Copies of this chain bind each other. A is one copy, B any other.
Amino acid sequence: MGKRIYNFNPGPAALPLPVLEEIQAEFLDFRGSGMSITEVSHRSALFDEVINDAKLRVTRLLGCGEDHEVLFLQGGASLQFTMIPMNLLPDDQVADYVNTGSWSAKAIKEAQILGKEVKVVASSEDRDFTYIPKNIIFNENAAYVHITSNNTIRGTQWSRYPDTGNIPLVSDVSSDIMGRPMDLAPFGLIYAGAQKNLGPAGVTLVLIRRDMLDRVPDNLPIMLKYTTFAAKNSMFNTPPCFAIYVVQLVLKWLEETIGGLAKMEQINKEKAALLYNYLDKSEFYRGTADKEDRSVMNVTFRLTNESLEQVFIEQALANGLGGLKGHRSVGGCRASLYNATDLKAVKALVSFMAEFERRYG
């Protein structure tokens, strides 16, 4: 077997090694069943234990108690972009959206395709999405306010959520869920593709506040209604069992090995600070996002000499540091420091960056 690399992929991303080892160890015989987890029926006590434990850990980690329903869906955040207005935005109402980059823009576009009325109440497009808009005025009659809590591509993150009064917040939290504690009270719904901080690609976590379920129209396709999943413990049809199982193990690792989200946030801040401090001192590299709105999860940067970026990325990989290429829509470099990427990995990265700077600077 080869050596494991330090993985800075933006998603699918690194998973905790002890979780991968546990999956591998029990892959032919899941918890004494004589079957692989991939062969176990979703209509079995064995799988009930997996999904129910995963749900319980979500509510415990986020401290949201019984107010929110935990759902496991398919289709990624991209399917949520259409399910949210379909389920939660009546035709005679408007929803407010904040545009902080590609993912927000896609969410807005999907609502518009449905013929729904959308108001873009703030945007950071004027400065290439390098910041988070402040002091936003929301429509007091908005059905909800949609934000993207962390912008994977641009490396920005809401450090504090906007105050929307009584209007429910709806947020794509794909790339920072479980990276820090979160007060769910103002949120009508949050959603996250698992492949960044939660598990493998193929499952989407949705937390919906119970009162929001009352908005779901009757006449939607069954697989596109939140109420279908809420009524059937996310198992109206066969769920993505393996992905849910990995999520369960990742949540267990978060609770039992890391010690919860406050601890996780502390570690994540330390990791990000190490890299940002290095970037700020260097004239060879520069961070691309406004300091106050920088993401703790995705550190986007450029080399002052952009023509060296390709060599940088290649040599990093040759040195066991993978996934440092920026998103194809913006170029440059990006280090995603999700929960499973540990301090050791970031130290190795900074030390490689310093070495590269010495050689090419």
Q: Which residues of A contact B (CB under 8 A)?
A: 1-5, 7, 9-15, 17, 20-21, 23-24, 27-29, 32-36, 38-43, 74-79, 81-82, 86, 106, 109-110, 113-114, 193, 195, 199-203, 219-224, 236-243, 246, 320, 322-323, 328
8 closest A-B pairs by CB? A202-B240, A5-B34, A74-B74, A82-B221, A38-B200, A78-B237, A24-B27, A79-B223
Query: Is the beta-carbon distance between B239 and A34 smaller than 8 angstroms?
Result: no
**Complex Cα distance A6/B96, Å?**
54
Are the CB atoms of A113 and B34 closer together than 8 Å? no
Question: How many copies of the shown chain assemble into the complex?
Answer: 2
Instruction: Offer 11 A-B interface pairs, CB within 8 angstroms, sorted by A.
Output: A4-B29, A12-B241, A15-B38, A74-B75, A74-B202, A76-B238, A113-B222, A114-B221, A201-B240, A202-B239, A240-B240
Q: Which residues of B contact A12 (CB under 8 A)?
A: 38-42, 238, 241
Q: Which of B14, B24, B74, B201 is A28 in contact with, Cβ under 8 Å?
A: B24
Across the interface, do A14 and B1 meet the contact criterion of CB distance under 8 Å? no
11 A-B pairs besides A5-B34, A7-B35 with CB distance below 8 A are A12-B40, A12-B241, A15-B39, A17-B28, A74-B75, A82-B222, A106-B222, A113-B220, A200-B242, A202-B241, A202-B243
Contact A113 B201 (CB under 8 A): no
**Residues on the B chain within 8 Å of A237, using CB:** 76-78, 193
